[in-house]
Amino acid sequence: MGSAQLGLVPDNYGSWWSGEHCDERWYGDIFALRREAHDHFIAWLAEAASPAPIASTLEVGCGRHKFYSEALKAYGYHGCDIAAPAIAACQERYPELGENFFVADALRDGLRGPYDLVFSHAVIDHVGDIDLFLTRLAAASRRLLFVSCYTGWQNGLDEHRYRWVEGRACFKNQISPTKARRVLEAIGCRDINIYPVPGSDALGAVITAVAPEHG
């Protein structure tokens, strides 16, 4: 375990998700494994969207499961992912949303926008710079931010921990709630909430915030 930052991220980061094994079935299976996080997000969204309608949404690390592309069409759904095959599959399946799917490494590439809502599930657990990930997602939002992680609720951890897993070409992270809060406060986020995924026996964490004013 150690610290990581963008300059130290190996060049093969993310390549595993472009393999043929990451097909629609694989994405469906991992989506189902974290049902509590997805159920909680949908419940949160119903409340968060009630004061004013959400007209544009970006999912970071959308992969190729179908759920949000269909459930959030009325919220102006967009999806991006570092894995080009996943994005190509989404564009093929939803030609009417084709332009809304794009390949992007959230740490390095433009995320377009701004969107009313930027959200991400099970991606922050793998990136090489957690603080930059949060900062870039918040910068792409003009209103709401929702991030869930599945690698545990690490209350008491003062700094994030990173471990490179060569066989998966990604990091397996432990996210420090304290540090995540400090980062979001520093960039001007408001109403920051960081808590265990409800109903998951603390197997994951949720980060929500109101994005900073972008002037």
Ligand X SMILES: C[S@@+](CC[C@H](N)C(=O)[O-])C[C@H]1O[C@@H](n2cnc3c(N)ncnc32)[C@H](O)[C@@H]1O
Where do we find the tokens 């080009």? 84
Q: What is the dihedral of CA 25, 9, 206, 16, to 10 degrees?
A: 10
106 binds ligand X (CB under 6 A): yes
How far is Cα 124 from Cα 134, in angstroms, rounded to an integer? 8
What minimum distance in Å lies between the beta carbon of 63 and ligand X? 4
79 binds ligand X (CB under 6 A): no
The overall longest dimension of the chain from CA atoms, in Å, is 46
212 binds ligand X (CB under 6 A): no
Q: Given the complex with ligand X, which of 127 and 189 has the nearer CB atom?
A: 127
78 binds ligand X (CB under 6 A): no
31 binds ligand X (CB under 6 A): yes
Provide the terminal-to-terminal Cα distance of the chain, rounded to the nearest Å: 38
The two structure tokens encoding residue 195: 């808590």
**CB distance 69 to 62 below 8 Å:** yes
What minimum distance in Å lies between the beta carbon of 72 and ligand X? 13
What minimum distance in Å lies between the beta carbon of 215 and ligand X? 26
Q: What is the size of the binding site for ligand X (CB under 6 A)? A: 21
131 binds ligand X (CB under 6 A): no
152 binds ligand X (CB under 6 A): no
What minimum distance in Å lies between the beta carbon of 60 and ligand X? 6
| 30, 49, 139, 203: which one binds ligand X (CB under 6 A) | 30
What is the DSSP annotation of 154-181?
-TT--S-EEEEEGGGTEEEEE--HHHHH
The two structure tokens encoding residue 112: 């377009």
The two structure tokens encoding residue 202: 């603390």
| 86, 147, 189, 210: which one binds ligand X (CB under 6 A) | 86
| 45, 60, 137, 149: which one binds ligand X (CB under 6 A) | 60
For 21, residues 6+ apart whose C-beta sits below 8 A from its C-beta are: none
Q: Given the complex with ligand X, which of 43 and 191 has the nearer CB atom?
A: 43
Binding site for ligand X (CB under 6 A): 14, 17, 30-31, 60-61, 63, 65, 81-83, 86, 104-107, 121-123, 126-127
